[in-house]
Amino acid sequence: MQADILFRNAEVIDGTGATRQRLDVAVIEDRIAAMGDLPDWRGGVEHECTGLVLAPGFIDPHVHHDEIVLTDPDMACMTSQGVTTIINGNCGFSIAPLTAVPPFPAPLDIILSPDVPRFVRFGDYRARLNAEPPAVNTACLIGHGTLRINAMTDLNRPADAAEIAAMRTALDAALSEGGIGLSTGPFYPPARAAPTSELIEMARVAQAHGKLYVTHMRDEGDRVRESLEETLEIGRAAECGVHVSHHKCAGLANHGLSEITLAMIDAARQHQDVGLDTTPWIASSTMLNSGRHRQATRVLVAESVPHPEMAGRDLADIAAEWCVDIDKAMERLLPATGTFFIMDEGDVRRILSYPHTMVCSDGIARGKHPHPRVWGTFPRVLGHYVRDVGLFSLEEAVHRMTWMTAERFGLKGRGRLAVGQFADLVLFDAASIAEGATFEAPFTPAHGIIGTWVNGRAVWRDQATTGARPGRTLS
């Protein structure tokens, strides 16, 4: 029997959480053709994998690469980590449908450059990705914040009946054209004035399509419990599945609160559909003037438009150098993004270990000094938290990066190694896998990733992109 690619003697972790097995895996075209002991098979390319783990390519449920997949389609920041599928359009901000013109209000201006091509319909964005595919598979949520910016002239009030109707119509069309769910970000200024009732109206449209309400909650700090309760209420009122993005308890005063929030999620799961994801870092990253600096023990400037030379520097040092207070320094740096040290290691571990938590990077690849999570998230979990800390098994970690996520977001044929499934694969060395990216050197590729394949084609080999761009749009 002839395969295009044959992996021999791999430690196969199939994504379901099952214990690894030593198997051969044969790939023909874009699918897994056979698994088992395959002595009679030959491969056009054969990989001897003794001692290496072969797993489903990782699925990142939360990124902001809506534009980067067009402008930097090799997507090395993802394929170098073993990620083969990404979900864009998070936190209420998607690249499409977009009828508004620049300058975009923050944080949309973090995700999109002023010269971004404008996709008035979501279907136009998908068509462009199908015509010029990136290296990874992409799916996209439709952002309520983007819909608000399109539909409203004054964002500082609740949407009126006509505006809600316009947003519902636009959301309905975008979900019909392949959007995989609704995202909201009432934390952010363009949606802060949206009351719970407005979010429920939007969630009802997602529910009608059998899709999820995914949210960057209104508050992840002092009012995280109230915000979680609001999210759960939206799910119950709209009878819609809800998904808490990058769950965290921000600010010193709130360290330890994840014991309560996870108990709330556990209780709610008895009656309604609730899921969550998180990143494996105590620092978060968002617009510099998000108010997060008041909760942080340390703030690094990720990017500043008027002061690009300050990227990577400590905000407190900049303020001291300029002989001004923190607020004044921040004002001068805008528009800017920052990295905020706001979480407790105990909360990070507790949330990551919760049985229903998926792994996400929350990466924003734009900018000169991004958070290391953009390049390092998945290897950090597999190396630091699994191998070094022993938080959970490698099989469990892979499950939270693959099949759990594929099932949650309805990504058919992905996330599991089985005959007939798409050949999205990562080959790695469990003994050496680790993030390479640091807060000082955020663009360093991970260690221990031997290769990454998307739809049966190699996209990352020998610590470099291959130039292949076999990614598909998923819906």
Judge whether 255 and 347 are in contact, CB under 8 Å: yes
**Nearer CB in complex with Zn ion: 24/60:** 60
**Where do we find the tokens 């983007």?**
146
Q: Which stretch binds Zn ion (CB under 5 A): 113-121, 215-223, 263-271, 412-420?
A: 215-223
Q: Nearest approach, Cβ of 93 to Zn ion (angstroms)?
A: 9
Task: Rule CB under 5 A: choose which of 23, 59, 68, 91 binds Zn ion.
Answer: 91
**Nearer CB in complex with Zn ion: 61/235:** 61
| Pair of tokens at residue 278 | 């998180």
Q: Which stretch binds Zn ion (CB under 5 A): 110-118, 211-219, 382-390, 435-443?
A: 211-219
Judge whether 54 and 13 are in contact, CB under 8 Å: yes
**Nearer CB in complex with Zn ion: 55/141:** 141
Q: Nearest approach, Cβ of 184 to Zn ion (angstroms)?
A: 10
**Nearer CB in complex with Zn ion: 145/448:** 145
Give how far Cα 441 sits from Cα of 98, 364, 374, 437, 464, Å: 34, 15, 12, 6, 18
Site size for Zn ion (CB under 5 A)? 2
Q: Nearest approach, Cβ of 282 to Zn ion (angstroms)?
A: 16
55 lies in the binding site for Zn ion (CB under 5 A): no
Q: Nearest approach, Cβ of 64 to Zn ion (angstroms)?
A: 8
Q: Which stretch binds Zn ion (CB under 5 A): 70-78, 91-99, 111-119, 123-131?
A: 91-99
d(CA 104, CA 109): 5
Residues 6+ apart with CB under 8 A from 309: none
216 lies in the binding site for Zn ion (CB under 5 A): yes
Judge whether 360 and 61 are in contact, CB under 8 Å: yes
| Pair of tokens at residue 458 | 């190699």
Would you say the C-alpha torsion 345, 347, 351, 353 has a positive or negative sign?
Answer: positive
Judge whether 167 and 461 are in contact, CB under 8 Å: no
Give how far Cα 332 sits from Cα of 72, 108, 289, Å: 30, 20, 11
Q: Nearest approach, Cβ of 216 to Zn ion (angstroms)?
A: 3
Q: Nearest approach, Cβ of 363 to Zn ion (angstroms)?
A: 11
**Nearer CB in complex with Zn ion: 5/288:** 288
**Nearer CB in complex with Zn ion: 91/147:** 91
Pairing of strands 21-28, 31-36: antiparallel
Chain positions contacting Zn ion, by CB under 5 A: 91, 216
